[in-house]
Structures are given as structure tokens and as C-alpha cells.
Amino acid sequence: MKRCSIIIHSVTGNTFIIADHLCKLLREGGVDARLYRVEDPDLHILANENERTNEFLEDLLAIPVVKNEKLLKSDAVVMGCPTYFANVSAEMKAFIDGTIGYYGTGDMNGRLFAAFTSCGGGLDDAKKAIAAMNTWALQMEMELLPVEPLIHVSGEEGGIRPSVEFGGRIGSFADVILKALS
């Protein structure tokens, strides 16, 4: 069975909602999909300050923190995080930076890759965040999947949750991954 690791950073829960739905769709399609999160020591602090974060805090903390070795066990990797200043979150960047040991080794060669993001409103900024994750994957000699950019617009402070319509877009995203892994 093919394995897909979905690695996320989520603060308000929107990235988590997307990743959780994607994980379920991939499992239904016969893929060993596993959800991981990057380390974020500030989640408890954020949960005290933001009700949206607090709403999903227990769900987020229940997700195992990703270890670099999980990448090597994956046939496909999907990354998702909030868009901050036209880039990935600091926590996702820290994870990416921590994979430097695989750069130039060929260990990641040929693994499939896709990315998604949730943003406050700037679609151009969101596309740049996805491009940053894609650039990492290309540097690791991974194969980018031909997916439409999966961008959730969450509005100010992440208040707009993914809709049923957006769930259909997640389904199309999952279909591309499933087809590539078959």
C-alpha cells in the first residue's frame, strides 16, 4: 500500500480541517495516509488569545509531530500551512530547514509532492507560499503533482471555515494524488 504523509502547521484550525478531510479521502481511496504536524510551542499561548485556535487545540495536539524519517517512508508528501507575508509560516519553515540533511543526497528523489494553504485574503500571497513549498520539494528532487493550487481564503483572523464547495476542491486535489499513487 502506498503511503502519503500530510504535514501541516495549523493555528486557527483551517489547515487542519483541510488536511483531515484530505487524509480521509486518501484513506477511502486505498492510500495509507498519515497526518503529522510541525512543532509549534506557541499553540497553547495562541489558544488562550484566540477562540478559533482554542476550538481545535486538542485536535491539533493529538496529531503526532513529524520526524524527518517519515519523509523517507512516504511515496507522496503533502504540506499545508497558513500563508504569512507571502510565505510559509515560521514553524513550517523551521521544519523545511531541518530537512537540510536530505539535500543533495537523492533520498527524496522521485517522491510525489503537493501543497496547499489557507490565507487571509491575498491570493497572490497564497500562491507564493505554495511556490515556496514547491521550491523545497524541487530542491529535494521530488516530483510536483499537477494539481490546481488549493487555496482556502479564511478571511481576517481565520474566521471563515472551509465550505462544502471547498470540500469538492479538496476531493479533486485528492483525486490527482490517488491517480498518481495508483
Q: Write the pLDDT tens digit of every residue in 112-149.
A: 999 999 999 889 999 999 999 999 999 999 999 999 99
Q: Are strands 76-82 and 143-144 parallel, antiparallel or unpaired?
A: unpaired
Q: HSE of 66 in the Cβ direction (CA atoms, 13 Å)? A: 28
* Model confidence pTM above 0.85: yes
Q: Write the pLDDT tens digit of every residue in 29-73.
A: 999 999 999 999 988 777 777 777 788 889 999 999 999 999 999
Number of structural domains found in the chain: 1
Task: For residue 29, give its domain range.
Answer: 3-181
CATH number at residue 19: 3.40.50.360
What pLDDT does 1 receive?
93
